[in-house]
Amino acid sequence: MPVRVHLDDLLHRRRLSLTELSERVGITLANLSILKTGKAKAIRFSTLDAICRVLDCQPGEILTWVEGDPDEEGEA
């Protein structure tokens, strides 16, 4: 998917674990893990808002779009 998730980078910079983020945001660890690994197909604005509030960041720091993503090559 050409949308990349940079949650790991932000967590590292904020010195937070995924478990701590889960507790602070009120989202299950499993759902955050799916988002973190880039396997999520969608994210609610309310979820994105909650993550941004806890990590003190902008949505563009979490999600970026990459043109010509190599993961998309060869898929039909």
Q: Which domain CATH number covers 20?
A: 1.10.260.40
Instruction: Give the 3-state DSSP-derived string for 24-68, with helices as H, strands as E and coil as C.
Output: HHCCCHHHHHHHHCCCCCCCCHHHHHHHHHHHCCCHHHHEEECCC
* Rounded Cα–Cα distance for residues 22 and 16 (Å): 10
Question: Please, which residues have CB within 8 angstroms of residue 53's CB and are 6 or more apart in sequence?
Answer: none
CA distance 60 to 48: 10
pTM of the predicted model, to two decimals? 0.82
Does some domain include residue 25? yes
Looking at the structure of the chain, the number of domains it has is: 1
- Give the model confidence (pLDDT) of 4-61 as tens digits: 999 999 999 999 999 999 999 999 999 999 999 999 999 999 999 999 999 999 999 9
